[in-house]
Chains A and B, each alone.
Chain A
Amino acid sequence: MGLLEAIILSVLAASTPLLIAATGELITERAGVLNLGVEGMMILGAACGFGGTLLTGSTIVGAICGMLAGTALSLIFAAMALGLAVNQVATGLALTILGIGLSGLIGAGFVGERIATAPHLYIPGLTDIPYVGRILFGEDGFVYLSLLLVIAVWLFLYRTRAGLILRAAGDNHVSAHALGYPVLRIRLYAVMFGGACAGLAGAYLPLAYTPFFIPGMTAGRGWIALALVVFSSWRPGRLVVGAYLFGAVTILQLHAQGWGIGIPSQLMSALPYLATVVVLVLISRARTGGSTAPAALGTVFVPDR
């Protein structure tokens, strides 16, 4: 296997959790809800996903456990931000703090355990094609799933009536309510979808990326996913580009350390975070003509009855 091939493979692996989490958050935000708790939902998804696989030996069970954990946390968020009309920024922060704490509590017994990572696709002939075979036909299931997810989300948003209604709820909740759409219920579903995706993205880390669980192993990926949604201008297609770019930065950093370039490893480790800041600045600046964010994003809605 060539070096370039190895790099591409690892970039895809590093990008996948970002892509899954960001896709979920994109739907949440398109419905007008800003859930900053992605990091918390991810880390809890990682702990529960690892636990599920450790107990059953099944990657799929682990993935489902991760999704359920993320959804459960997102329901707390929904109860607060939608049910009680609490400030979404503060609620999202609380969710992150709670998720980190719970994952530590749950994961305390997992430290030192190992599981088998998710199997990779193998199609005789195709996977063996030099250079591109492993990249196209030899990934783990999550990589394909994440791309299918993006396509499904694109189709949903732009080709279905339900997607139109979701976008409408994110554009103007007063109008949507006046036309009789159940704004809060639409948002609840969107938040739950975001939670399930974040949980799955978190579960990916111990199930496919590294075969063990470490407290805090998401290391800010949830926050980077949030930045990716901004980067994508809330469009699924651009999300893929952004996620793979960020994956590339992460991997570049690892390889650069391997090559022994005389730069402190901490500086290289800081690259994804610094890159996020730079991207946020550039993308926000490029958009001086006005934001493409959903117009109702982050605002509280209390219907009168």
Chain B
Amino acid sequence: MLDPTPSNPRTGQTPLLQTIGLTKRYGDFLANDSIDIEIWPQEIHALLGENGAGKSTLVKTIYGLIQPSEGEMFWQGQRMVLSGPHDARARGIGMVFQHFSLFDNLTVAENVALGLDGKESFKDMSARLEEVSRIYGLPLDPKREVWQLSVGERQRIEIVRVLMQNPKFLILDEPTAVLTPQEADQLFVVLERLRSEGRAVLYISHKLEEVKRLCDTATILRGGRKVSTCIPRSETAASLARMMVGAEIKQVKAPAGRRITVPRLLVNELNLEPDEPHGVRLQNISFELKGGEILGIAGVAGNGQDELFAALSGERLAKDPGTIVIDGQAAGHLSITARRKLGAAFVPEERLGHGTAPRMRLSENALLTGHAASGMVQHGFINTAATLSTVDRTTAAFDVRKAKRDPEAGSLSGGNLQKFIVGREILRNPVVLVVSQPTWGVDAGAAAVIRQALLDLAAEGCAILVTSQDLDELAEIADRIAVMFHGHLSESLITADASREKLGLLMGGSSLTPKEPADAVGA
């Protein structure tokens, strides 16, 4: 072990869960490399690490979803081999998944029933569902179908479902990533109550301040191995981050001498009906974005950010050309290709399947957005040399690491692919850049490169719109921040004024001019 266990030795007791040398191998790749971890009753234990550090693999193994290649697990001192999640649940291990394990077209009650082992009647189960959700203050309507619910409500289903198993040990994978700050606070109350009831919690998060506040112990993974176990309260966020990354993280710096110029992107009363049955209607969205400026859009996922991206990019067209003005030209009726020709560039949230075609080579993915406005196509024929040179230039400028010159997009790691996608657009010297979740799910090094690139691009006069669920990210790079809720966009706040509390209220649907503040939160 690298660290002597810093928490009390608890002599004479056995840990609730202990892993010894837990290893998971995929081909030559070690997702988990000999991990030792101890979870004690009445403990909130944080599991920290970058994307790809092996956190998900570890918790999936503990939940019985993945069979370890080597190593052992002990449950209350007894050796444990799990045949599957049913087995884990039977012992008292519950899990709340990051991307949820829900069924959109089934009702809340049916979803809960599927997470239990079906030993009680549907009626008894429904009664217990009501009871548990009342006790923990997590209200749910059992008859509604999941697709109708907000992200916060969906998470509530997952949590109630786990609590109904009366677990001794809960695993929560990034539970606050999708919540407003206020909703997160409510969740912490629930978690502290669970601890006081004697249960243990394994808590995966990226938000280090949150971990310092909530967690008793933290285990840090890097590159599949355990780096350290520590007490987060006696660390700083910076020291925790250093252990996760393994190096000092470069501070992102806004270049000096940035000039705010003329409006480059204007949106006037944009209204758009959803094109999907479960989509959000955009209502009266207006804002102005000048050259050299970065506007951040915060909000809980599913409040119209995807729809706004589609409307701004031209994947969907607005009825009235004047609702979107790019660099002085009415563009609401123009296709995405025409908007690119006006100097706009776009980076969607989803890297694989939206920003790139995963099974196509990088050069072909360069062609994907570059075919309209560069020398890549002549008389309908593809200039392969030009597409390859774009790949080379992007690789060089943004430090894209890859196994060969022109691999398939899907074979790159998340961070490297994101650098390629952002780089591909920046190298086109856009006047307007619309970016969704620029650093979602990428490692800290790549995130720093990307954020710096956005700041540098703004310094060159580009107008940048960044949508992100990560408030820290917006605080770091945005000049102003507005919030999306139910298809509406709030007035923007100067970043310095945009406290977490204010943004959290807006994200929960309250207005800042106090009328009926309390009601809307968490409704």
Contact = CB atoms under 8 A, between A and B. Distances in A.
A168 B104 CA distance: 9
A97 interface: no
Interface in B100-147: 100-106, 110, 113-115, 118
A177, A180, A294, A304: most-surrounded residue (chain B CB, <10 A): A180
B439 to A, nearest CB: 24
A179 B101 contact: yes
A165 B111 CA distance: 10
Interface residues of B, number: 26
Given A171-B104, A172-B104, A179 B114 contact: yes
Contact of B65 (A167, A178, A290): A178
A168 B97 contact: no
A180 B113 contact: no
Interface string A143-185: 0000000000000000001001101100110111111110000
A172 B277 contact: no
B85 A178 contact: yes
B67, B85, B105, B277: most-surrounded residue (chain A CB, <10 A): B105
B90 to A, nearest CB: 10
Contact of B67 (A178, A289, A305): A305
Contacts of A72: none
Given A171-B103, A179-B101, A305 B113 contact: no
Contact of A180 (B86, B100, B104): B86
A168 B278 CA distance: 18
Contacts of A161: 113, 118
Contacts of B105: 171, 294-295
A180 B67 contact: no
Contact of B102 (A175, A289, A294): A175
A180 B65 contact: yes
A166 to B, nearest CB: 11
Contacts of B100: 175
Interface in A291-305: 294-295, 304-305
A177 B88 CA distance: 14
A164 B85 contact: no
B103 A172 contact: yes
Nearest to A159: B122
B84 interface: yes
B85 A171 contact: no
Interface string B51-92: 000000000000011110000000000000000111011000
B403 to A, nearest CB: 22
B85 A180 contact: yes
B472 interface: no
A305 B64 CA distance: 10
A290 B276 CA distance: 7
B277 A168 contact: no
Contacts of A176: 101, 103, 114
Contacts of B118: 161
A87 to B, nearest CB: 13
Given A178-B85, A179-B115, A180-B64, A167 B106 contact: yes
A175 B103 contact: yes
Given A180-B85, A289-B277, A168 B114 contact: yes
Contacts of A289: 277
Nearest to B99: A174
Contact of B101 (A165, A167, A178, A290): A178
Contact of A165 (B84, B88, B114): B114
Interface of A: 161, 164-165, 167-168, 171-172, 174-181, 289-290, 294-295, 304-305
Interface of B: 64-67, 84-86, 88-89, 97, 99-106, 110, 113-115, 118, 276-278
Given A171-B104, A172-B101, 15 more contacts: A161-B118, A164-B106, A164-B114, A168-B106, A168-B110, A172-B102, A172-B104, A174-B101, A176-B101, A178-B101, A180-B64, A180-B84, A289-B277, A290-B276, A295-B104
25 contacts: A161-B113, A164-B106, A164-B110, A164-B113, A164-B114, A165-B114, A167-B106, A168-B106, A168-B114, A171-B103, A171-B104, A172-B103, A175-B101, A176-B101, A176-B114, A178-B65, A179-B115, A180-B64, A180-B85, A180-B86, A180-B89, A181-B114, A289-B277, A304-B66, A305-B66
